[in-house]
A and B are shown apart, each in its own frame.
Chain A
């Protein structure tokens, strides 16, 4: 989709290449530790729950709920010219909480606990940014 928000290209490392490549296909990947089975966020080549160096990516449901949100009126860096936008922390159904934006909804219509689903905004040739929309708006 195109949310009209800035979509700065992320810096991609060896740890995160598979994650960002998947975003171009509209897939949100998470990692599960091969040793302790813990689902971890953000992508890293290490399980910091148990110290294992072996993790495996899997496709996340892309669904979750709003843990908290704010309408930011004073954007910085790439968002400096954006009048306002929604910064949010979303708890995915897999248990991890990620920073993101809520798009396609008026700030007044949002609430903590609201169900949301991932959508992707192109951020250059190599990545798309995982943002979230209220679940009842996504077809």
Chain B
């Protein structure tokens, strides 16, 4: 039993807004839903599966009501920024099992100008042992970055190289929050947020969201627009277990091999990758953990000349990623899938379109380095 070839992404939409003071979160979901359904050539009445992170209202039910959906399948899995990639995999499994045929996944968020509150609900078991010490997202990733530097010799300049590459792509994206090209020195001279992470090592904070439509093969065949074939899905949780977290790796060490095995491909086969980039260190470690380079070699890999660029072995985050383009509501996973779909359809911005892109990977990370959701998707051009 596998989801390989059993489901297709027929619609993908990224909200163009990055600062949306006049829209409600519900309205942003709705705009994204209609955007993705319109892209697919489907309507609300066709939707029989609904997926969202369930953070707004009563699980997924409040949003289903707002959108007027009566799905036969609903899933409000929440694994932080990786939630939406999990939804793609779960939708494919549901479609393969005959539970639905047209699955809609939506994200909507408003966080600009809002002082961030506690990330965890106070009644979670870990909360009293982390929150009281001033734990922040940047702080946790900084702990991981410093430990990675200690064990493998990674440098701040190598981390900065990830941001530089993202900024080179972002200059071509009219919707990107940050379109200015930056240099290694720009990153190193930006204010320290949690050392060794500078402000420019951190992703942007944006409103907005996006939506995806995942459909059964017979639906995909009936539509005019090219669809993207789902070839593999790998999912994993990393947590602190009995209290011995290792901050030098991500959950991609498990989700990656699962996705590659299901797709029957290897990292060397991938033409384009959307790699979750909450921070520069996230990209570096994820590339290692997915097998694009050896463990500990991520620093040398990302700092090597054309790495991550269009003319490298693996172009990464051609939309400018979360570091420059968009990271709606602190959750950048959905838009990672959208850019992979654009690349496979040949509809990326012409300046950043990967030539003959047949096989793409999208990877989502959610949470911190001691506790995260991790989801890897392998996607193929329809004729792949």
A and B are interacting partners: yes
Which residues from chain A contact B132 at a C-beta distance below 8 Å? 7-10, 78, 123, 129
40-82 of chain A: CB within 8 A of chain B:
40-44, 47-49, 67-80, 82
Which residues from chain B contact A98 at a C-beta distance below 8 Å? 129, 243
Which residues from chain B contact A79 at a C-beta distance below 8 Å? 134
Interface of A is mostly: loop
Partner among B117, B136, B144, B150 whose Cβ is within 8 Å of the Cβ of A75: B136
- The answer to whether A85 and B244 touch across the interface, beta carbons within 8 angstroms, is no
Chain B interface residue count, CB cutoff 8 Å, equals 41
Partner among A12, A70, A80, A131 whose Cβ is within 8 Å of the Cβ of B128: A12
- The answer to whether B243 and A40 touch across the interface, beta carbons within 8 angstroms, is yes
Partner among B118, B125, B146, B241 whose Cβ is within 8 Å of the Cβ of A70: B146
Whether, in the assembled complex, B143 has its beta carbon less than 8 Å from a beta carbon of chain A, the answer is yes
* Residue of A47, A49, A68 ringed by the most chain B CB atoms within 10 A: A68
Whether, in the assembled complex, B186 has its beta carbon less than 8 Å from a beta carbon of chain A, the answer is no
Whether, in the assembled complex, B23 has its beta carbon less than 8 Å from a beta carbon of chain A, the answer is no
B141-159 interface bits toward A, Cβ cutoff 8 Å, 1 = contact, 0 = none = 0111011001000000000
* Residue of B116, B133, B241 ringed by the most chain A CB atoms within 10 A: B133
- The answer to whether A99 and B136 touch across the interface, beta carbons within 8 angstroms, is no
A117 CB to nearest chain B CB (Å): 17
Whether, in the assembled complex, B356 has its beta carbon less than 8 Å from a beta carbon of chain A, the answer is no
Whether, in the assembled complex, B194 has its beta carbon less than 8 Å from a beta carbon of chain A, the answer is yes
Which residues from chain B contact A69 at a C-beta distance below 8 Å? 143, 146
Look across to chain A and name the residue whose beta carbon is closest to the beta carbon of B144.
A68
Whether, in the assembled complex, B360 has its beta carbon less than 8 Å from a beta carbon of chain A, the answer is no
- The answer to whether B242 and A40 touch across the interface, beta carbons within 8 angstroms, is yes
Number of A-B residue pairs with CB-CB distance less than 8 Å in the complex they form? 134
Whether, in the assembled complex, B130 has its beta carbon less than 8 Å from a beta carbon of chain A, the answer is yes
Whether, in the assembled complex, A116 has its beta carbon less than 8 Å from a beta carbon of chain B, the answer is no
Look across to chain B and name the residue whose beta carbon is closest to the beta carbon of A112.
B150
- The answer to whether A112 and B143 touch across the interface, beta carbons within 8 angstroms, is no
Whether, in the assembled complex, B68 has its beta carbon less than 8 Å from a beta carbon of chain A, the answer is no
Alpha-carbon separation in the docked complex, A13 to B128 (Å): 9
- The answer to whether B139 and A72 touch across the interface, beta carbons within 8 angstroms, is yes
Whether, in the assembled complex, B245 has its beta carbon less than 8 Å from a beta carbon of chain A, the answer is yes
- The answer to whether B117 and A77 touch across the interface, beta carbons within 8 angstroms, is yes
Whether, in the assembled complex, B191 has its beta carbon less than 8 Å from a beta carbon of chain A, the answer is yes
Decide yes or no: A42 and B129 within 8 Å by CB, A73-B193, A74-B193 being known contacts.
yes
Which residues from chain B contact A6 at a C-beta distance below 8 Å? 134
Alpha-carbon separation in the docked complex, A96 to B332 (Å): 32
Which residues from chain A contact B129 at a C-beta distance below 8 Å? 10, 42-43, 98-99
Which residues from chain A contact B146 at a C-beta distance below 8 Å? 68-70, 112
Look across to chain B and name the residue whose beta carbon is closest to the beta carbon of A85.
B134
A-B contact pairs, 29 of them (CB 8 A): A9-B132, A10-B128, A11-B123, A11-B128, A13-B123, A13-B128, A40-B243, A41-B240, A42-B128, A42-B243, A68-B143, A68-B144, A68-B146, A68-B150, A70-B195, A70-B196, A71-B192, A72-B194, A73-B195, A75-B134, A76-B117, A76-B118, A87-B194, A89-B247, A96-B244, A100-B133, A101-B134, A107-B195, A129-B132
Binding site for B on A (CB under 8 A): 5-13, 15-16, 38-44, 47-49, 67-80, 82, 85, 87-89, 95-101, 107, 112, 123, 129, 131
Given A74-B136, A75-B134, 11 more pairs with CB closer than 8 A? A15-B125, A39-B243, A41-B244, A42-B126, A68-B247, A70-B143, A70-B197, A87-B142, A97-B243, A98-B129, A101-B134
Binding site for A on B (CB under 8 A): 115-118, 122-123, 125-136, 138-139, 142-144, 146-147, 150, 191-197, 240-245, 247, 370
What 3 A-B pairs come out closest when comparing CB atoms? A41-B243, A70-B142, A10-B128
